[in-house]
Structure 1
Amino acid sequence: MNKLTSPRTIRDIMDRYGFKFSKRYGQNFIIDEHVLDKIVEGAHITKEDAVLEIGPGIGVMTNTLCEAAGQVVSVEIDKTLMPVLSETVGHHENLHIIEGDILKIDIKDLFERHFKTKRPKLVANLPYYVTTPIIMKFLEEHIPVTDLVIMIQKEVADRILASPSTSDYGALSVAVQYFTEPSIVTRVSRDSFMPAPNVDSTVLRLKVRDKSPVKLADETVFFMTVKDGFGKRRKTLLNALTGGFLGLTRDQANEALACSGISPQLRAETLGIEEFATLSNCIVDVIGALK
């Protein structure tokens, strides 16, 4: 049994170290051991795997990861938790703890020093305020992980999983589905945390694709097309693409839409990844690739 899932143990640690939960860092510790088991199972973690954990907290999930994986590197932003982690998980020989902000540290250097040529699995319980920045950093920068197994706010998970022509579908859906194959590991009640947040959570497995699901003339133009489309999501594609990030004139937007066979009266939320790819490739034909 992982004793760190006990609220009594957590309170004892907090009292001894004078620790208080930080709203700034979105700290909510898991107190449901079944959730930890589902994360390890959903991530398919074995002793052959290396794991990068973001936000170990007091080490609740870290303990379980160390028991399952061959190597674990945990990055914690809250320096006041470093002595706590030394006590709670410092005994694991396959663990290395790094103090720092995952959005600011030198990721390339971290990987070269700790993972070398191995591609780890990323596992994290992400607070709402950094969920999208962390996901997109790893995907857009092509940081070499095989999977992102993340516990996130249910509403964000729903947006990631959403299909075209649904209210949750947007730029985040397209971006994450372009880079990964997302699936649900488990749903998590707010009562599984201490303190309990105001929302329920979902654990997603984002399996990083080995190759692009669509053929693109220019990936930058593709994502700017998506951004333009959803930036004015209540407008038709013709109006959304005119004068946006791509700087298309109305005539250029009309030409690109005609080339793609997509009605200028449609809205971005109706297009799937393949249709966005077709449209962005036509935009490249009209204006040329971005340099």
Structure 2
Amino acid sequence: MGNDRKTLIEQKKVIAKKKFSQNFLLDENIINNIIEKSGVDNETGIIEIGPGLGALTKKLIKVAKKMLIYEIDSELIPYLNDFFKEYQNYKLFNKDILKIDVNKDIEEYFFDVNKIIVISNLPYHITTPIIMKFLEDVNGIDSLTLMMQLEVAKRITSEPNTKDYNALSVIIQHQTEPEYLFKVPKSVFYPKPNVDSAVIKLTIRKDIFNNEHKGFYKFVHACFSQRRKTLVNNLYSTYNQFTKQEFIDILTTIGINAMTRAEALELNDFIALYKHFNTIKSEEILIK
């Protein structure tokens, strides 16, 4: 099974599957740039999601201490195992990353690494669920270097008072320090997708406020529920057990104008607003 990746594609032995959002990255310069920006070294444990034909894997496996690789497409597993049969520092799983206990694999295999980095060319249709799984359910991750649809990358890394800034921006910035790295044109993939991509890096924050996340995230989504409406109206629509005047009083107390829209608030404003709101009524009522 000695065929290289391009030959497999040219001979149509491997067909990209739309149901898995498969677009194989083939550009060596972009691959090198991803690895450099990720900060991987020979003491790092790498988690790679959706390696495809292993274009990124073939370089990561040479520089990382260990790799956990998850590929949902069973047809690619024999090729990947053949490509990397000379290496002993990886475990390849034919599993759906959204349905497994990654912590268990980390505990069993990454017991002797200094840091853990996620690196992936994410499937477009499940980008956000994968990111949130690692932020909410997986322990010990230091950073994530991820390629995704350009529009989503801009949203995650956007600043207040910009058109891309929304609830996802706030939620991810709550747990990470996001950095937009570079744009990736659609021409460097096979098959060529309809949109451009971008690579971002999410460094896990160690200073997040110690509150139950789901309540805060529901609150942030409520703030952005209708972009053109004010915070007061959006919050009242979701938490109508309170009066509009109560919301106005909360905003005024922490120095936010009652006519403000969610897109004008920074992360710390949302945290302060949520904490103050939480002191008025019990959390049980808040997140019902």
Match of 2:91 in 1: 96
Distance 1:9 1:81, change over 3 A: closer
Report if the CA contact (8 A) 2:154-2:180 is conserved: no
Partner SS state of residue 204, structure 1: strand
Question: Distance between the aligned counterparts of 2:211 and 2:68, measured in 1?
Answer: 37
Q: CA deviation at 1:200?
A: 0.9
Match of 2:107 in 1: 112
Match of 2:236 in 1: 242
Amino acid at match of 2:217: F
Q: CA deviation at 1:256?
A: 1.9
Q: What per-residue deviation string (whole Å, max 9, x for no partner) do you get for residues 118-158 of structure 1?
A: 44100000021110111111112253211100011111000
Q: Mark the runs of 5 or more structure 2 residues left unpaired by the alignment.
A: none
1:67 to 54, 58, 62: 62
| Map 1:131-280 → 2, pairs under 5 A | 131-212=127-208, 215=209, 219-244=213-238, 248-280=242-274
Partner SS state of residue 97, structure 2: coil
| Map 1:11-90 → 2, pairs under 5 A | 11-12=10-11, 14-15=12-13, 19-90=14-85
Amino acid at match of 2:101: D
Report if the CA contact (8 A) 2:9-2:15 is conserved: no
Match of 2:282 in 1: 288
When normalised by structure 1's length, the TM-score is: 0.90
Q: Say which is worse superposed, 112-121 or 151-160, in terms of deviation.
A: 112-121
Q: CA deviation at 1:289?
A: 3.1
When normalised by structure 2's length, the TM-score is: 0.91
Q: CA deviation at 1:25?
A: 0.3
Partner SS state of residue 52, structure 2: coil
Partner SS state of residue 107, structure 2: helix
Report if the CA contact (8 A) 1:153-1:200 is conserved: yes
Report if the CA contact (8 A) 2:50-2:123 is conserved: no
Question: Distance between the aligned counterparts of 1:117 and 1:270, measured in 2?
Answer: 44
Match of 2:9 in 1: 10
Q: CA deviation at 1:220?
A: 4.1
Distance 1:281 1:246, change over 3 A: farther
Question: Distance between the aligned counterparts of 1:246 and 1:54, measured in 2?
Answer: 41
Question: Distance between the aligned counterparts of 1:144 and 1:245, measured in 2?
Answer: 35
Q: What per-residue deviation string (whole Å, max 9, x for no partner) do you get for residues 47-96 of structure 1?
A: 11110000011111111110111111100011111112122223221111
Report if the CA contact (8 A) 1:7-1:194 is conserved: no
RMSD (Å), alpha carbons: 2.0
Q: Say which is worse superposed, 215-224 or 247-256, in terms of deviation.
A: 215-224
Q: CA deviation at 1:217?
A: 6.0
Q: Mark the runs of 5 or more structure 1 residues left unpaired by the alignment.
A: none
Q: CA deviation at 1:189?
A: 1.0
Report if the CA contact (8 A) 1:149-1:204 is conserved: yes
Question: Distance between the aligned counterparts of 2:222 and 2:260, measured in 1?
Answer: 14
Residue correspondences, number: 282
Report if the CA contact (8 A) 1:256-1:286 is conserved: no
Report if the CA contact (8 A) 1:38-1:185 is conserved: no
Partner SS state of residue 18, structure 2: coil
Report if the CA contact (8 A) 1:43-1:205 is conserved: yes
